[in-house]
Amino acid sequence: MRKLLCAVLAAGCVAASPAKEQRRLYVASPGIRNYVEWGGKGVLVYDIDRGHSFVKRIPSPFDDLGGKVENVKGMCASAATRRLYITTLSRLACIDLVTEKPVWVVALEGGCDRLSITPDGKVLYVPSLEGPHWNVVDAATGAVIRKLEIGSGAHNTLCLPSGKRVFMADLRSPTLVGADPATHEIVHRVGPFRAPIRPFTVNSAGTLAFVNLNGLLGFEVGDILAGKMLHRVEVPGYRPGPVKRHGCPSHGVGLTPDEKELWVVDGSNQRLHVFDATAMPPAYLASIELLVDQPGWVTFSLDGAYAYPSTGEVIDTKTRKIVAHLRDEEGRQVQSEKLLEIDFAGGVPVRAGDQFGVGRLSAPATRRP
């Protein structure tokens, strides 16, 4: 009887203990153009705490179009609603993160590009495919709430983790646009920068933007509240050269979550460059040579311990050393520009990262440009 009582008490203690969290990296493929040789088709999932080992593949929610595979253009997720969203050139899909089954797939007018979601998981901002507008979409149903006509090359989209702003970059415009997600009205126009904007990132306070530009190996800094460009920073000691994709030498820029460092992609020289983001303008610190391919994107784990360039290499941000390579279930190298962290407890998502390396300080930044 005593042994039985102990067993019951032990079982109760186990049941009452909080579920251990599992940190997962979600990687959409094909995440570089439609190149299926770097990950096949679907969403590949990796265990961050076990050396980024391969866990599983979630089937793609998109059917092949006569044997043709569409490029994945963007990915975002909400732990609050347990949903994962993926865009291709023409369609937007919603996947249940618990059942891993598609909830719906819709085709949006003008196609789709790199989307973003409000932190409450209720609203998606989906750019048309280098078109004149963004579709504001009900994340529960896929229905379009309204259209924002902004320019002629809708492309990259970033919602702040605070939910206070969403930023939109037109790849044919030198001006970064910010909107209020509560009203879907434009409240910021930042720039003009010296060339059309490519990838960009923003600090958590929504006061500073760091933007890549056509023709620039480096980045420019914008004061969002004042609406003007502040600084132009070129990577020292390196020169731009030919690139395989995107047509610009730096196509990827990200803040570490603590906003202490800014990492900048260099496709020409197959490197990542690290800058001190606590200085203004950010000061050059180091360069990291990549082994696999020319990078075209960079983001980070939620705790900032790892950097994820699009080449599939995993970099320890403290040592700046490559510590792992993403591989699929057949051992093939994986590359993607669309990846983010999602953490689970008891099989349920509890937090979600972002495909952008966006600032994540819990308190608003106090320093000024």
Around Cβ 258, how many Cβ atoms within 10 Å? 17
Write down the H helix ranges in the chain. 2-16
Which pLDDT score, from 0 to 100, does residue 327 have?
A: 98
Conformation bin of residue 360: beta by default, left when phi > 0, alpha when psi is -120 to 50: alpha
Tens-place pLDDT, residues 76-108: 999 999 999 999 999 999 999 999 999 999 999
d(CA 212, CA 243): 15
Confidence of residue 9 (pLDDT cuts 50, 70, 90): very low
3-class secondary structure, 143: coil
27-64 per-position pLDDT tens digit: 999 999 999 999 999 999 999 999 999 999 999 999 87
Q: Which of 82, 76, 107 is nearest to 97 (CA)?
A: 82
In this structure, the number of other CB atoms found within 10 A of the CB of residue 179 comes to: 22
Predicted confidence (pLDDT) at residue 14 exceeds the cutoff of 80: no
What residue segments make up the domains of the chain, in order of their start? 21-352
Task: Examine the pLDDT at 366 and tell me if it is beyond 50.
Answer: no
May I ask the CATH architecture of the domain 21-352?
7 Propeller (2.130)
| Percentages (nearest 5) of helix, strand, coil residues in the chain | 5, 45, 50
Q: Which of 112, 133, 233 is nearest to 177 (CA)?
A: 133
Helix (H, G, I), strand (E, B) or coil at 15: helix
pTM for this model (two decimals): 0.93
* pLDDT at residue 155 tops 90: yes
* Dihedral (Cα; 158, 190, 110, 294), 10-degree rounding: -60
